[in-house]
Amino acid sequence: MSSNDGGGLMSSAGLVRYFDAEDNNAIRIDPRTVFATGAFLGFGILILNLLV
């Protein structure tokens, strides 16, 4: 058996295959929504620090 048998990287220990699996019941959040929420919370904290 050769080392290039299509089994994936040994250092990934199966994580690549695990995360490549799509789950239809999973919650899907748009990356822009996550970024906008983080930016909104960050600005909110900055404003609260200036007010207090």
On whether residue 8 sits in a domain, the answer given is no
Bigger pLDDT: 34 or 8?
A: 34
Average pLDDT over residues 28-41: 95
pLDDT band at 15 (very low <50, low <70, confident <90, very high): low
Contact 8, 17 (CB under 8 A): yes
Q: Which two tokens stand for residue 29?
A: 């959040």
pTM: 0.51
Residue 29 pLDDT greater than 70, yes or no: yes
On whether residue 9 sits in a domain, the answer given is no
Domain that holds residue 30: 15-51
On whether residue 29 sits in a domain, the answer given is yes
Report angle CA 24, 7, 10 to the nearest 5 degrees.
Answer: 100
DSSP string of 1-52, one letter each residue: --S-SS---STTTTHHHHHH---TTS----HHHHHHHHHHHHHHHHHHHHH-
Please state the domain count of the chain. Answer: 1
